Homo-oligomer: A and B are copies of this chain.
Amino acid sequence: MTELPKGHPCEDCPVRPITICRRLDAVTLANLRALGTMQRLEPGQPIFHEGDPVRRVFMLASGSLKIYTLLADGRRQITGFMFPGDFLGISIDDEYAFTAEALVRSELWWFTRDAFDRFVEDNPKVERELYRLAAHELAAAQSQMVLLGRKTAAERLASFFLSLIARQELVVGEKQAEFDLPMSRLDIADYLGLTKETVSRMLAELRNRKFIRLMSQDRVQIIDRAGLQEMAAGFGE
């Protein structure tokens, strides 16, 4: 990555660092992991802050993280959550554009940027895979724009739950009826562009409509997936 032709034709445009955080294939992962160092994280512990120099590339092994940006007066937008297998810190710039912080006790591997770049150079398929991963991120970002720009509070929460369970099903490899909420109500709110009170109310709303059941504070059972999907897609009722 370091030997990417710097600038040309965009060197003066406001390039900002990028997260690529979807999964690579198993073989690549194993080879890469051999180059890395493991690190434990406590809940709330930051991995890096917005503006920090980009020195390392991270891969989450267990737990979960949040990625966020702050406005001048403290308003916060969480732009993504990360789960085991996700990559973080792969960037074409020298500063992170966001802060990354552990939600729960987590483990991650880190690699120096150089080691990671060398690995990419030695594994031609990886570059292609990285592009593929970036494409996934972009598609997700676009649906999040639709969510933030045009969906109602209830629709946002429904969409969020569906994406969380889809994600978990991808990892487990089969349909699931329940999923965890490792993040707080405030984190959910800051991801969906709402307040924690509204998240709480919409949770009650989805419960009243018999779309979901709360097994505990941080575990949700899906009762009516079709109902959730209709709501997430923006059908009136």
Interface residue ranges, A against B (CB under 8 Å): 4-5, 8-10, 12-20, 22-26, 69, 71-73, 75-77, 79, 91-92, 97-98, 125, 127-132, 134-139, 141-146, 148-151, 166, 170, 190, 192-193, 230, 233-236
A142 touches B69 (CB 8 A): yes
- With the chains together, A140 CA to B48 CA distance in Å? 20
Which chain B residues border A234 with CB–CB below 8 Å?
A: 71-73, 75
A150 touches B71 (CB 8 A): yes
Which chain B residues border A18 with CB–CB below 8 Å?
A: 135, 138-139
- With the chains together, A119 CA to B166 CA distance in Å? 35
Q: Which of A18, A131, A149, A235: most chain B Cβ within 10 A?
A: A149
Known: A145-B77, A150-B193. A12 touches B170 (CB 8 A): yes
- With the chains together, A24 CA to B10 CA distance in Å? 9
B77 touches A149 (CB 8 A): yes
- Number of copies of this chain that the complex holds: 2
Partner of A136 from B10, B26, B129 at Cβ < 8 Å: B10
B132 touches A97 (CB 8 A): no
Partner of A10 from B5, B22, B128, B235 at Cβ < 8 Å: B22
Residue of B nearest to A236 (CB): B73
- A149 CB, min distance to chain B CBs, angstroms: 3
Partner of A142 from B8, B24, B73, B141 at Cβ < 8 Å: B141
Which chain B residues border A131 with CB–CB below 8 Å?
A: 127, 130-131, 134
Partner of A17 from B72, B97, B98, B139 at Cβ < 8 Å: B139
Which chain B residues border A233 with CB–CB below 8 Å?
A: 71-72
Q: Which of A13, A20, A139, A193: most chain B Cβ within 10 A?
A: A139
B134 touches A4 (CB 8 A): no
- A113 CB, min distance to chain B CBs, angstroms: 15
A141 touches B143 (CB 8 A): no
B9 touches A135 (CB 8 A): no
- A48 CB, min distance to chain B CBs, angstroms: 15
- A3 CB, min distance to chain B CBs, angstroms: 9
- With the chains together, A20 CA to B148 CA distance in Å? 21
Q: Which of A8, A19, A150: most chain B Cβ within 10 A?
A: A150
Which chain B residues border A144 with CB–CB below 8 Å?
A: 141, 145
